[in-house]
Every structure is written in C-alpha cells, then in structure tokens.
Copies of this chain bind each other. A is one copy, B any other.
Amino acid sequence: EDQKKQQKQKTSDPFSSDPERHPVLRINSLKPFNAEPPPAILTERYITPSVFFFKRNHLPVPNVDPATYKLQIQIQGPDSERAAGTFSFSLDDLKTKFPKHTITATIQCAGNRRSDMHKVKQVKGLNWEISAIGNATWSGAKLRDVLLAAGYTPDDAKWAKHVQFEGLDQDIAGTSYGSSILLSKAISEDGDCLLAYEMNGEALPADHGFPIRVIVPGVVGARNVKWLGKIVISDAESSSHWQQNDYKGFSPCTDWDTVDYKSAPAIQELPVQSAITTPADGATVDRSDEEITVKGYAWSGGGREIVRVDVSVDGGKTWRIAKLKSSDEGQEDKNSTPAPGQAWAWKLWELTVPLPEDAAEMEVVCKAVDSSYNVQPDSILPIWNLRGVLSNAWHR
C-alpha cells in the first residue's frame, strides 16, 4: 500500500517541475517548498538577493508559458451584464501598455518568527525562524492603472469593497491559492500596489511568481499573490481558505475547540517587527574583544516607517539606540526618502556596544518603534495564538 503510494507520487509528482533552490536555505517544508535563509545573510545587503529571499509556497510551482499567459480581470457588478464580462491582458500588454513603476518593498510572512511562539507553547504551522522576511525592488504596472484600463470607475467604490486575487498554482482538486485586499488599498494612488514582472531588476524567478505577482506593500505576504491568474473586483472578500480560515489573529485563550474564524479580521497590515540577525542565537563571543556589533532588521506594516530601534545587552534592563540604515553604505539616495505612510521597505540597523566586563552570558534584545509610535510587546505568551502568526515580541 505504502509502496504503491510512493510509486504513484514519483510518477505524477506535482512538484516535479519545481525550480532549483540555493543550498544555503533552511528548508521548513519540501513539498510545497518553504525555506528561509540564514539570518546573517539578511543584513549583509539592504536589498535581499532573490536566491536568498524566503520561499513560501502553498502549492506546487506552476509552469507558466509567458507567451500565452493571460491575466483575467472581472468586475463583479453592479449589474449582471457587466459582471459577466472579463477583461484580459497578456504579459506583453502589462509590460508595454502601462508605465513601469519600481518600488522597494519588504515582504514578511504572517508566520515569521513562529518558532519563538512554538517554543513557549505548541502552535500549528511551518516552523519559521526569523528570516521569513526579505526586501526587494519590484517593477511592474500599477495595479491601479490596470484596474482603470479594465473599466473600473470611481463610482464602483459604492458597491465594490475588495479586490480578490487568484493564483495559477493549484492543488490536485484544482483549487487555486487565493486571497483579497481592500479596494481602497488597491486603487489608491499612494497604495503603490504593483503587478510586478521584475524582482531586483530581473524577470520574476519561478519561486516568486513568474510571470506576474501582485505586490501589496505594507501588507502580509499571503496577500501578495504569486503566479497571478485572475483579479476580481467584488463586494466580498476572497472566499478562499487562506482568507477566511487562516491568516487571522486570535487571543491566547482561544484554542482549536473554541476558535471562530469569523470573529477575527483577515490579516492585512502587519504590526511593527524587528529581529537580531547577528550575533546568532547561542553564539560565543571572544572575551579578548572589547566590543561587539549587533545587527538586525526592523519593519512595520501599512507604510509606517521605523523611527527607532532600542537594543539591550542585559536582557532588557537598559537600552541603547541603534543606528538605522535605509540603504547599503555609500549608496544613500536622497530621492528615495519615502513619503509618510509609504515607507514600504525595512531598515537595517546596527550597534557596536562595549562587552559587559563581568557577565559570563550576555542577553541581547531588540525592539522597534514605528511612526505611529506602536511598539513591540515585551513577551510572547500574551500574544500567543493557535496558528502562531503575528509573532512580534521583543527578539532575544
């Protein structure tokens, strides 16, 4: 029986055409492929190279032919006649009929740092450490421009509230990955949503959504749908499993017997986050050194900018202020200062501190503050939730 199953899997393995991946990635799940880079790689460069960017696949990577690719757009109202129609754009249409925009945006998985939550009390989900986050440049057509070209008018905002996305990735039953965002985010001039065909200046890699991925800056990775096949303007949220019964936050007192998925909103903007990438957890520091350099990343959802990162080397008793970086050294671009509410990219930070003289152990902790002065919570148990999402307590 087991052998038969294995045999069948080998011959018709839906993951057989998945792309090659960099061997340095730490694999959380092979099929579907989910993996993250070693933390120190994240702070080596302001822009995360695509090969090191975390891979979060829900399903097999689809093999899309760019020559025949069509993005379908449906406007589900206000009358049945209009709802019946569908607009479609080829990849060439998206590249040539709309101005090309480039933004730098950080994408974070809702489950980033789930392992910290899992350590204090069991949760269900992939055991991500701190690297299910990355920062890239994304180029493509503005989602807004494409929706307008497909016939969206400002009047539609009276009935339409959501923009649904369907991926071309499918399970064996033919169900596609799907999710939705608010129409207001999708259509806003300042929302900066893109139908991206490039990541870091090259065609999207297969693992990151080739040929088209919607980039929804400031919003959880799960809504940045890859291998985008269809867009639906609707009065309703996506009915998909991932919008309705996953990617939501709950109280620490909610368990699998009491959870009511309807009672919580779908995660969209993520809360303020930061983590220490170096020194690594449990690293030994040379006693002959007089100081140590601590590095990490910090980011907040909704375009809120990181305004400060505090670092402690005594477990949170006293703090110092880290130096923030919005680019690699010597590449600061004055024109790239984001407008308020459009700070889509992370800040890397570092701080060199004298080694405490007597301590045998040193507990390094970081916490970030965003432009709405939201802060990270001190500890994990009070934000623990059964799915292990939104894990943003101080990192130690």
Looking at the assembled complex, report how far the CB atom of A248 sits from the nearest CB atom of chain B, in whole angstroms: 9
A72-117: which residues lie under 8 A (CB-CB) from chain B? Answer: none
Number of interface residues of A (CB under 8 A): 43
Residues of B within 8 A of A264 (CB): 307-308
A182 within 8 A of B: yes
CA distance A184 to B184 in the complex (A): 15
Q: How far is the CA of A9 from the CA of B319 in the complex (A)?
A: 45
A319 with B265, Cβ < 8 A, contacts A372-B271, A373-B390, A377-B377 known? no
Chain A 250-303 interface residues, beta-carbon cutoff 8 Å to B: 251-254, 264-265, 267-272, 301-302
Interface of chain A, main secondary structure: loop
A136 contacts B by Cβ under 8 Å: no
A270 touches B373 (CB 8 A): yes
Least CB distance from A278 to B in Å reads 22
Asked if A62 is at the interface of the complex by the 8 Å CB criterion, the answer is no
A37 part of interface (Cβ distance < 8 Å): no
* Cβ contact within 8 Å between A301 and B369: no
Contacts of A57 in B (CB 8 A): none
Residue contact A375 to B369, C-beta cutoff 8 Å: no
Knowing A184-B340, A376-B377, the reply to whether A321 touches B253 (Cβ < 8 A) is: yes
Contact in complex: A253, B374 (CB < 8 Å):
no
A382-B316 contact given A251-B310, A373-B390, A377-B376, CB 8 Å threshold: yes
* Chain B residues whose C-beta falls within 8 Å of the C-beta of A376 in the assembled complex: 377
Q: Given A307-B265, A310-B253, A379-B378: A270 and B321 within 8 A (CB)?
A: no
Measured between beta carbons, the chain B residues less than 8 angstroms from A320 are: 253
Using Cβ atoms and an 8 Å threshold, which residues of chain B touch A369?
A: 249
Number of copies: 2
A371 to B249, CA, bound (A): 10
Query: Are B319's CB and A252's CB within 8 A?
Result: yes
Q: Are B382 and A268 closer than 8 Å at their CB atoms?
A: no
The answer to whether A186 has its CB under 8 Å from any CB of chain B is no
Known: A316-B382, A367-B382. A375 touches B253 (CB 8 A): no
Interface residue A383 (Cβ < 8 Å from any Cβ of B): yes
Q: Please name all residues of chain B whose beta carbon is closer than 8 Å to the beta carbon of A251 when the two chains form the complex.
A: 308, 310, 319, 321
- Judge whether B319 and A267 touch: CB under 8 Å: no
Other-chain contact of A319, B340, B379, B382, B390 (Cβ < 8 Å): B382
- Say whether A68 faces chain B, with CB atoms less than 8 Å apart: no
A373-B267 contact, Cβ under 8 Å, with A316-B382, A320-B253: yes
**Is A32 close to B, CB under 8 A?**
no
In this assembly, does A190 line the interface, its C-beta being within 8 Å of a C-beta of chain B?
Answer: yes
Q: Find residues 294-351 in chain A having any chain B CB closer than 8 Å to their own CB.
A: 301-302, 307-308, 310, 316, 318-321, 339-341
A367 cross-chain contacts in B, Cβ below 8 A: 382
> Would you give the 0/1 interface string for A352-386, flagging 1 where the beta carbon is closer than 8 Å to chain B?
00000000000000010101111111110011000
Q: Which residues of chain B are near A269, meaning CB under 8 Å? A: 371-373
Q: A316-B382, A320-B253, A382-B316 are in contact. Are A265 and B371 (CB under 8 A)?
A: yes
Other contacts beyond A271-B375, A302-B302, A378-B378: 4, CB < 8 A: A182-B341, A271-B373, A316-B382, A376-B377
User: Which 9 A-B residue pairings sit nearest by Cβ, starting from the closest?
Assistant: A378-B378, A269-B372, A271-B374, A374-B374, A253-B319, A271-B373, A249-B373, A373-B390, A375-B377
